[in-house]
Every structure is written in C-alpha cells, then in structure tokens.
Structure 1
Amino acid sequence: MKEHILIVEDQFVEADYLRLLLEKAGYIITGIARSVPQAQKMIKEQRPDFVLLDIFLKGKQTGIDLAKMLAADNIPFVYLSANSNEEILTCAKQTQPYGFLVKPFREKDLLVALEIARYRHAHSTEARYHKEMELRKVLRAIPDDTGAWSQKMLTIATALQSYMPFDFITMQFDHLQMLGFLRIGFNEYQIIGMEELAVISGKKIDELMTLQLQHPVTETAVIYDDTAFQHICKQPCLKKLFAATFRLKTHLEMPMQMIDRKPFSLGLYSRRADVYATEHIELLERMQFALMQAIEKISVADKSQGDIYAADNVNILEGFEGIVGKSHLLLSVFDHISQVAPSDTSVLILGESGTGKEKIANSIHELSPRKGQPFIKLNCAALPAGLIESDLFGHEKGSFTGALERKIGKFERADGGTIFLDEVGEMPLELQVKLLRVLQEKEIERVGGTDTLRVDVRVIAATNKNLEKEVAEGRFRLDLYYRLNVFPIILPPLRDRREDIPLLAYHFMNHYSHKAGKKICGISESVLKKMMAYNWPGNVRELEHLVERSVLLTKGTVIENILLPTIEVKQGTAGQEEKTMKTIVENERDYIISVLKKSNGRIWGPGAAAEVLNINPSTLKSKMKKLGIKKEYIE
C-alpha cells in the first residue's frame, strides 16, 4: 500500500505537477496546502504518512516553522526549495528532515527522495523502538544485580548514558538525599555524594545542605540551554556549585514520583551547549514507570560508601583500540559508536584531517556483528577518477585497455562485512550515482560485465569536507548525501579537546620509544605547556608525528624539547582562557591532593586517603606517581 502524502506548496502549477507525478507513481495525495495554517488544518483532519514541504510559503510562517511541528509529531517530511545555498541548508538541517529536493527536479529525483525518506524514517522508528525495549530490559535486570546500592544506581545512570548524553547526573530523593555521578572516562564514573562534594568544593556539609534547600524546584520537565542555565546559576544553589565545579553548560531536570508517592528528581548536565531536546524528555516520560520501578526495588538498606567506581575500567577499551582520550567530546563520540555499531546503518564520519576517522570506522566494524568479516578500505582521493569504479566494483577481462584479467572489486570483497570509503567528498559525480544504486539496491555490476551481483555490505564513509556546501555548489549529489548521512558522527579537532593532549603525547611516546628501542619515560613540563598552547591544525596525526620525531631526537630519558611551528601558537585572550581551564586529569589530581591533605598524608589504614577514595592503597600510589603528586604537595 502506497503512502498518503500532503503537499505544502504555494505555487499552484508546481503543486499540481507534484500531485500528477505522485498519483502516477501510486501515492495518495491527502491535499495541497498553500500556507502553514492551512497545512496544520489538513494534518488535523487526516494525518499524512509524508509531507512534501516548500521552504518559502505565503504568510508569516515558513516551511521551516512547519517542519519543527512535524518533527514534534513524528511526521517525516522532505523539503522542496528553489534555493540550495549553504545558509538555507544549515537552517533546514537543524529541523532534521528526511530529504531535500532542489527545484527544478526530475520525476526520478522525486521518487528517489521519497524512497530515501522512507528508508530513513523506517530506520529511525525501528531504532527508537529497539532502543526503548533494550532500556526497559536493562532497567528490569538492575535490581537483581549483585553489588552495593550506589553501584546499582550507577548502573541505572550508565544505562541512560547510551540514550541521553551527560557529563554529570544527579538523583535527588525526597529533597533531602542527593547522589551524583561525574563521568571521568568512557565507562568510568566518580560517585559524588555530599561528603565528596564537600571535599571537592571546600564547603562544609551544612553549607551544602543549605544550598540543596535553595535548589530551584520544578514540577514539570524542563531544559535549560546555555543562557537559561547561566541565569538560574546566578542564585546560590547546588546547580550553581555543580556548574562552577564541573564546568557544566546545559541541564535537563526531570521531576518524577516514586511508586510510594515520594518525590524524585533526575538531573542531567553536559559540558556542551544545546545538548538536550524535547525527544530526551519524551523518552524519560515513556521510561518513567520502568525507571521508578527499578529504583524502588533497589533496597536503600544496601547503601554503601564509595567514591570512585569504574565499569570495565581498563586502560584500553575493547573495540576502541588506538583511540586515546577522556575528554567529554571524545566520550560523546564513543557513545555514538556504541549506539550505531550493532546495526547495519550507514555511517558518515565528519571531521578535519588527522582527527582519526579511519580508527573510528575500524571501531564501528569491530563492535558490530560483522566483526571477523572483511573490513575493506578505499581512499577515494588517492585514485585517479578513471580507476575508482574498477576499484569499487571490479572489472571483466578486456573491459578496457590494460584489463588483462578479471578483477574483484572492493564491494565484492567486502561482502558480509564493511567497506570504508575515506574522503568520499572527492568521489566524481558520475560514480556517486552508481554508489547510490548500490546503497539502495544492494547490487553491483563489474565494469564491462552484464551480470548483476548481490552484495551484503555495510557502508561507512568519511570526509573532511563540508558536504552541505559541496551539495549547494553542485559537486555532491543531494540524494547520496541524505543516504549516507543517516547517522553522522562528528569528530572534534584536537584544539577543542586539549585535556587529551597529555594522554595522547604519553601514548605516542611509549609506542615510539619502544619501537626505537629507547628507554624514554617522561615529557618535561615545558614541552607539555607548549603542546597545550599550540593550535594543532594537523590534529592527532600532527601530534603523533611530532612526538615520534622528538623520541628519535631525544638523547636522555625525558623529552625536553619539541619543534612546534611558531606561527600556529595561540596568542591573546583565547590562549589565556585555555591555560586557566582545568582538564579532567587536573581535576582528578586536585581531588586526590585535597583528600590526602584531609587525611594528613596517610595512604593506608582507617580513615586514610585510600579508604576515603575507596581504592586499593597500591592503586592510589600508582595514581599519585602517574599524576606527579609528591609529598611536598600535601604538606
């Protein structure tokens, strides 16, 4: 059965042309609306399966205004526009459309756009259903787990992490008891109760209790974006203390009621701006009963003390080998990988050169059910245009000059596995059409061949180009962009995750010193300061090459010098701001020092630092050595 489609277009001739094309293809047209109010009325009378939506309409409201309403009602829509400039594409992208057609378009373009929209909507609906079912299953199982109360509550928090990102989460019970978890690694969380918060902030428990009573109370779910969060943090309260202590920018507050009618509030905080949306609130509302049921079943009598708990706490995370860092931006990338890896969804990895797009693609494959099957890579920018088609799809003997024998292409070799198309933005337009066919029909033809071959391949593409700009300037097909862009993963440049620079530097130092047979064990403070101030236009790749060079040039056991291009060193206010901002590692170091001071420098024994931190004394000594905490720092 074909879908019901509403056309929202204020030009009569164009709207009627669309109607004729769609009816010819078997679609049912529910109506033609000339304005947003008229479209709203028609949707109320008969809900369509899809909406074809012009951006510029009669009246004050635009198609983008209607798109926001359609997104809230989960009605898929495809934009129509005679203008495809970058500004329009950017505004349209923010409403998360299922397609974008640039006028004038062919009948085939329209039908392909609807096919892509159907695919994307089916995927998003199915993914959301499976996501919620999986979350309910996890929540049901948590109360039966072994472990302390705080660890079970942490398991609830980590279960939510996969569906709504946070750097800090709080659970407020009956306005009196607060439990928080600070994310310090991919599967690492620091438990923040009142005692821990007192140590970190330097405030007394009774001061914190007073701030807790001044906590702004809300009866309905609310999202505080960057500006709104700054506003509520002007008044003394725990939220203000959280924001200042953990460098938080946005907040989602979700008040609930326990099954015994006692109040409960869930607070999600992020270091990124504009993270939370209505869909997060809607998910929490649908999960509310399962969430409250899980919390109710966890016996508060089992509550135990504990400060640092790591789920699967290992230095190298399985599936993420070679990706180093604990910044909140990188952790967000890990979350996206974990979400998309188990499915067969196409992934588009976006980021500057040197940010590690190939390693991300490799992680997606290694964490997918296709692990163990072929993982085939192709750099679209490294081959002449005339050879890419042969490399992708293969060729028959004699199909062109120099084809002396049959060649099996990358897609055929990747059958059952994954193909990684690096620098896909460099692919010639004529080949983009053939790639789109493979994605839609899962079939290929060798160059010079007549047989159609079925292939089962997951496609991961990557580019350092702005594909919206490439589309607007006619160098990249719009339909292919929307087909690849089902699940985009944006990699942050190294300058935006500076707290990872020391970790990366030591990682590369260990690797290349071992490779060179040298015993280099450290990097001087002055070199690390230079690294933190540098802008890293070449990102992680540039850092790796410079550390490798430094290892080879170093004569002692410590890297005392690194040759950085001086033209890229940050100057002025922005650079000063970066120096004053503490990294996660620095915060952990300061926290351990404060606990040691409170314990009079004692590591072992009752009330000593190791007991307060709830870690093994030998582990604490190793952390102190790694973080450079010496006795004079705590005296």
Structure 2
Amino acid sequence: MKEQILIVEDQFVEAEYLRLLLEQAGYGITGIARSVLQAQEMIRDKKPDFVLLDIFLKGKQTGIDLAKLLAVDNIPFVYLSANSNEEVLNAAKATQPYGFLVKPFREKDLLVALEIARYRHAHSLEARYRKETEVRKLLKTIVSETATWTEKLLRIATALQSFIPFDFLAVGFDNIRDPFFKGRCFLRTGFDEYQMIGLHELATITGKSMEVLMALQPPNPVEEMAAFYNGVAFHNICRQPSLRKLFADTFQLHSHLEMPIKLMDRKPFSFCLFSRRPDAYTAEQVEQFERIQFSLMQTIENLMQEEIDEAARSLQRETKTTGRTKTEEGFEGIVGKSHLLLNVFDHISQVAPTDTSVLILGESGTGKEKIANCIHNLSSRKEKPFVKLNCAALPATLIESELFGHEKGAFTGALDKRIGKFERADKGTLFLDEVGEMPLELQVKLLRVLQEKEIERVGGRDTIKVDVRIIAATNKNLEKEVAEGRFRLDLYYRLNIFPVILPALRDRREDIPALAYYFMNQYSHKAGKKLSGISENVLRKMMAYNWPGNIRELEHLIERSVLLTKGTVIEDMLLPTVEKKSGIADGEDAAMKTIVENERDYIISVLKKCNGRIWGPGAAAEILNINPSTLKSKMKKLGIKKEYIK
C-alpha cells in the first residue's frame, strides 16, 4: 500500500511541483492544504503517514503551530522552508521534526529526506517498544531472584533508570505512618551507584524528627493519575511544606514525574522520579510509564507477599549495592559523578548501540573527543576503524581532499592517488571535530554524502559506496550559525539527530577534586615523582576559579604544578585571578567543602544522632550501611575523635 502524504504549502506552484514529484516516486497524496485549519480538516478526514510542512502559511497560525498538533497525534513531519532565523529555528527545533528541507531542493533531496524521516520514525517507535519489553522482562525476573526487599527495589530502580532517567527516586512513600512501611529512596551517586535512604536515614540527612516527617505526609495521595512537573511548575507545587518539597530542598531537585499505582488491597504505592534538571520530563514519558504500570503493579504485589526479615539481612547485603559494575566499561578516562555528567552517560548508553548520527556540543576543553571515543567503543563498530578529522585544523582547500580523497593529477600537487577519511572509516566511525568551521560549499557535499552514502574522489568519476557512522562536534552555537547564514539548516538537522550536550566544568564543580587527583596521578607517574596529595588551600582555589578553558585548562595547570612541586604535596597553583562575575565570592565564601570534608561532617552528624554508638541496631554503622570496622577505620582516617561527637 502506498504511503500517504499531506502537503501543507500555500504557494500553488510549489505545492503542485511537490505533488508531481511524490506521485512519480510512488507516494499517495491525501491533499494539499493552504493553511493550518485546512490541514486539520484534511487530517480528520484521512490521517496521513507523513506531512510535508511549510513554516510560513496563510493565516495567523504557522506550520510550527500545526507541528505541535502532529506531534501529539504521532504523525511524522518534515519542514520545508526558504526562510530561517534563530528565533524561528529554535521554535521549529522544539517541535522535534523528522527532517528539514531548505528551498530550493533537488528531487533526490526530497526523497532522501522522506526515507530518513521514515527510518527515524520507525526506529524511535521500535526502540521505545523494545525498551518497554526489556523493562517488563526484567521486572518479571526480579521477583524470582534471591534478595532482600531493598535489593529488589534497587533492581527496579536501575531498570527504570535505563527507561526514564532520574537523580532521585522515592518508591512507596505513600504512607509513612504505616507500621509495616516499606518505602525507600534511591539517590544516584554514580553511573550505576545509588545511596539507599530509608525513613531513618532520611531523618538523619534532613535533621527532621520522625514526627515532623509524618506530619509532611498528606492524609490522601497527592496524585491519582500519572503527572509530571518541570521547572517553575515543580517549584510551584513545592511552595507548601511536603515530602516533595523536602526532597527538592535536600537534594537540589528541579523536576518530577509521579506514577501512582493501585495494589490489590487498594493501598496507594507511588514511583516518584526526580531530576536535578529543570526540563527532564515529558508527556511522552508519562505515556511510556503508564504502559508498564501493570507490570510494575504485579512486581510490587509479588514482592510484598515475600516474608523477608529485611532488618536482619540489610547489613550483609545492602553494602554490595554501592560498588561499580561492568556497565561502566566504555567510559574509561571520564572522571566525575555530578548529575550533569551522569546525564551525559545516560545519553551515550542510549545512542551508542545504534548507527544514529551524534552531535556533541560543548565549550572548548569539555572533552568532546573523549565522548566520541566512548560512543565508538560502546557501539557494534568498535572493532572497525575510528577516523578523526579536525575541520578547523586544515585550510578549506584541503578539507575536501581529506574527506573524500583524490585521484592522481586531480589538482596541482596531487602526485598520487589519496584515500580520504570516508573510505578509511568504511564500516566504522568518522569523527568530524569542529564541524562548525566547515566551509559552506563543502557543507553541501557533506550533506549529499550523508544522505546518499556514496562519495566521489576529487578528480574522479566513479561513485564509491561507504557505510560510515558520523559523530560531529563543535563549540559553536550552530543555531546562531544557521541564522547568520554560515551553516546550512538541512545539514544541521541531518547531524543533530541525537545531540549530546557536555556541561562546562564550572557547572560541575563537585567533580574538580576527583579530576585534579586523576591528572596528578597521571602526570606524577609520567614525571617519575611520588606525589601523595593536593593541599586544601589549592583545592579551595580550584573550586573558586571559573575555568574558562574547562577540563583541558585544569589538566595543563595540574601538569605544570606536578613539574614545579618539590615535595610530595601540591602546595601551590598559579591560577588567573577569579573574576567577581563568576558567581563565587572571595575569601571564606569561596571555600566550598571538598568531598572528604563533606564525608567527615556527615559521619559526625550521624554519630551525634546515635550518641556515639557504632555497633548494634540503630547505631551509626547500620544507618550508614557500612561494616562497623569499616566505620572505625574511616573515623581514624578522617580524624574523628570522641570529643567531636559530643
């Protein structure tokens, strides 16, 4: 059966030209609409498989307005436009189109764009349903595993993490007054690491009594249906004292998705996902969650029927949940556990196994090439070539030859035949670094290669088929480059299928100490020195600095400091003056606590709550989920004495 296409174009000649091209290519046409209202009527009469959509139409409403409605009905669409500025591009991008054609275009460009749109639409549906099936299967296996209630909840949490990412998850926190309350929270502390937080641990962390926590629980469930709240909406629902507000304030959370389920005994039991990003959740994710709701309900009911003495077994089992697992393989050389970096890991894990093009965005020095390496190493192409080209490092006249190769005698100086990067990367991955620097005339040729999967060497006549996955990177704002005419809109959409945005180092300051020690160990070993640490004064200076050069600047400064250090500890570092506009105050205000200081303060606070008791039920070791002897070792290492506990 022919695929049916609706054309939404108010220019008669262009609309008829499109109709002829599509009919000759074997497509069916459901109609030609001149306005959004006319398009809506045609869609009600006959739902098309695809929509070709001009942005600027007759009437008050634009193609972008119609695109929002198409997205709700899950109808894929491709934009057609000759006009683009940054504001229009941002609005169009927000609707998540399946392609973008810039007028004028060739017949082949149109057909290829539709092929790509068909692939992306089918792939997105297939990937979504595949993930839902995987989660359902995993939920079934969790029930039969030999483990405690808490361990099984953790398994459910990790299954949900791959489905809908979160930084904090509260499970079953619907009735904390119930004497058989089994709710747990999971705070993400690493790629596959979570801190388990029960009611007692929550009281310790927040400094609230059990009575106060119970008073924060509303008498009836807050939500009857699945819902999500981002940014301002989330903070609006957190104005009044509540457990949600407590979670948000304690763990710096800015968005929330809640899935209430009803168990057989009609007791409420909710999965509450929270993220530190203000725009983490969507209506599509709510729908995804609803489709696995029944599987979740069955899993929780089965787990609740098991009679497990959780308190007696938790000390033996729960400490196992904090170790790293093999799922972190492939991220070697990337240091940190900030929520922004973990979000990047999530995106890499999702896209790496596919052949989808990836666009890595971020400031200079944020590690874009390392991320590209990770994507290739985690893909099915990891045994094949990984070829790199820095588009900013070569003159415009040489980039074409570097990419596509040339025949002998193709131009002055072409003394031999040269194989280009595309041919070298066949069956593998091609990394185009600083793609925003590519000249416009070469952007056209690159776009055609990406669409048609074939190249011609400079000076050659034969076409050569290539199978190459593209990973591109840039520190430029490509949307601004498009708006100012320096980057083609259709190439931007072809590369921007799956963007990965790397955070600046100043936005993930909590990773600075770990990065500093990583580079210190690396360069001290290379220099043949035995360095054991970095002074607190240097760490404070690093935390206060704004790092305009990001990780690359930090690495170079650590390397220099290693070479200049005469003792075993880095006591000084020559940093540029911290500007006031960095948002970090001078002096004591800039002295942000290190990870070690935070750990020390936390252990002291727990010990104070337990009146200094280390062993036994309700003692510090139990609350911290570590062995008592391990706790004693930590206290000795951190210099925690009995007088600090009083």
TM-score normalized with structure 1 length? 0.92
**Partner SS, residue 80 of structure 1:** strand
Are 1:336 and 2:347 counterparts? yes
Q: Does 1:201 align with 2:185?
A: no
Residues of 2 paired with 1:583 and 1:269: CA distance?
25
d(CA) in 2 for partners of 1:616, 1:400: 72
CA distance in 1, matches of 2:22, 2:587: 59
Q: Look up the match of 1:80.
A: 80
Residue identity matched to 2:138: V
Q: Does 1:272 align with 2:283?
A: no
Q: 2:470 aligns with which of 442, 459, 466?
A: 459
Match of 2:515 in 1: 504
Aligned pair in 2 of structure 1 residues 634, 378: CA closer, same or farther (>3 Å)?
farther
- Larger mean CA deviation between 456-465 and 256-265 belongs to 256-265
Within 2, Cα distance between the matches of 1:633 and 1:328? 32
- Spell out the pairing of 1:197-596 with structure 2 (5 A cutoff): 197-213=202-218, 217-299=222-304, 300-302=306-308, 304-305=310-311, 306=314, 310=321, 312-313=323-324, 317-566=328-577, 568=579, 570=581, 588-596=599-607
Which has the higher mean CA deviation after the structures are superposed, 504-513 or 349-358? Answer: 504-513
Is contact 2:4-2:50 (8 Å) kept?
yes
C-alpha separation in 1, matches of 2:109 and 2:330: 39
> Displacement, 1:500?
1.0
Q: Give 1:159 deviation, angstroms.
A: 1.0
Q: Tell me which moved more, 255-264 or 92-101.
A: 255-264
Q: Report deviation, 1:460.
A: 1.2
Are residues 388 and 616 of structure 1, via their aligned partners in 2, closer, same or farther at CA, if it must alter by over 3 Å? farther
8 Å contact kept, 2:170–2:185: yes
Q: Which residue does the alignment assign to 1:160?
A: 160
Q: What corresponds to 1:48 in structure 2?
A: 48
The residue aligned with 1:169 is 169
Distance 1:481 1:555, change over 3 A: same
Secondary structure in 2 matching 1:301: coil
Tell me: CA distance 1:201–1:40, structure 2 relative to 1, closer, same or farther (3 Å): same
Of 166-175 and 436-445, more deviation after overlay is shown by 436-445
User: Structure 2 CA distance, aligned partners of 1:585 and 1:37?
Assistant: 62
1:377 is displaced (CA, Å) by: 1.6
Deviation at 1:537, TM superposition (A): 0.9
Equivalent residues of 1:150, 1:303 under 8 A apart: no
Compute the displacement of 1:378 (Å).
1.6
Shift of 1:165: 1.8
| Greater Cα offset, 257-266 or 523-532 | 257-266
Question: In 2 relative to 1, CA 111–244 (structure 1 residues): closer, same or farther, beyond 3 Å?
Answer: same
C-alpha distance in structure 2 between counterparts of 1:96 and 1:450, whole Å: 38
Q: Structure 2: which 5+ residue stretches go unaligned?
A: none
Q: Which residue of 1 aligns with 2:29?
A: 29
Shift of 1:630: 6.6
Superposed CA offset, 1:23-52 (max 9, x none): 343322212223333322211211111112
**Per-residue displacement from partner, 1:161-187 (whole Å, max 9, x unpaired)?**
122121101112663432111111111
Shift of 1:357: 0.5
- Tell me the distance in 2 between the aligned counterparts of 1:624 and 1:443: 64
Deviation, structure 1 residue 393: 2.9
Q: TM-score, normalised by structure 2?
A: 0.90
Q: Give, in angstroms, the shift of residue 591 of structure 1.
A: 3.0
Corresponding letter in the other structure for 1:388:
I
Alpha carbons 2:186, 2:196 under 8 Å: kept? yes
Query: Which amino acid counterpart does residue 63 of structure 2 have in structure 1?
Result: G
Contact 1:151–1:309 (8 Å) recurs in 2: no
Assess, with a 3 A threshold, how the Cα gap between structure 1 residues 206 and 472 changes in structure 2: closer, same or farther: same
The amino acid across from 2:421 in the alignment is K
Give the corresponding residue for 1:69. Answer: 69
- In the TM superposition, what is the alpha-carbon distance from 1:55 to its structure 2 partner? 2.6
Distance of aligned partners of 1:472 and 1:524 in 2 relative to their CA distance in 1, 3 Å threshold: same
| CA shift digits 1:453-501 (9 cap, x unpaired) | 3333222111111222222333223222222211111101111111111
The two structures, once aligned, show a CA RMSD in angstroms of 2.9
Alignment identity in percent?
75
Structure 1 distance, partners of 2:86, 2:147, is 53
Q: For 1:285 and 1:12, locate their aligned partners in 2 and report how far apart those are by CA, in whole Å.
A: 44
With over 3 angstroms needed to count, the CA separation of the structure-2 counterparts of 1:548 and 1:134, relative to structure 1, is same
1:304 to 1:587, Cα distance in 2 relative to 1, 3 A? farther
Distance 1:556 1:265, change over 3 A: same
> Measured at CA, do residues 419 and 105 of structure 1 come closer, stay the same or move farther in structure 2, by a change above 3 Å?
closer
Structure 1 residue 101, shift from structure 2 partner:
3.1
Corresponding position of 1:142? 142
Given residue 34 of structure 1, which amino acid in structure 2 is its aligned partner?
A: R
Q: Deviations over 1:254-300 (max 9, x none)?
A: 11223554322111111111111001101001111122222222244
CA distance in 1, matches of 2:574, 2:498: 39
Cα distance in 2, alignment partners of residues 10 and 424 from structure 1: 35
Determine if contact 2:362/2:503 at 8 Å carries over to the other structure: yes
Is the 8 Å Cα contact of residues 71 and 95 (structure 1) preserved in structure 2? yes
Looking at structure 2, the residues matched to 542 and 312 of structure 1 have their Cα atoms a distance apart, in angstroms, of 31
Question: The residue matched to 1:265 in structure 2 has which SS?
Answer: strand
Q: Could you tell me how far 1:150 is from its partner in structure 2? A: 0.7
Q: Is the 8 A contact 2:545 2:578 kept in 1?
A: no
* Alpha carbons of structure 1 residues 257 and 425: separation in structure 2 relative to 1, 3 Å: same
Give the Cα separation in 1 of the matches to 2:58 and 2:638.
63
Distance 1:599 1:191 in 2: 19
Q: Are residues 1:126 and 2:126 paired? A: yes
Give the match's secondary structure for 2:307. helix
Give 1:310 deviation, angstroms: 3.4
Structure 1 residue 72, shift from structure 2 partner: 1.5
Change (3 A) 1:373 1:20: closer
> CA 1:11–1:78 in 2, change beyond 3 Å: closer, same or farther?
same
Name the SS for the 1:235 alignment partner: coil
Deviation at 1:600, TM superposition (A): 4.4
Distance 2:33 2:539 in 1: 61
2:188 to 183, 199, 216: 183
Amino acid at match of 2:255: T
Using a 3 Å threshold, how does the CA distance of structure 1 residues 571 and 279 change in structure 2: closer, same or farther?
Answer: closer
Distance in 2 (CA, whole Å) between partners of 1:625 and 1:442 is 63
Change (3 A) 1:418 1:81: closer
Shift of 1:303: 5.7
User: Structure 1, residues 310-339: CA drift from partner, whole Å, max 9, x if none?
Assistant: 365269932111101111100000001111
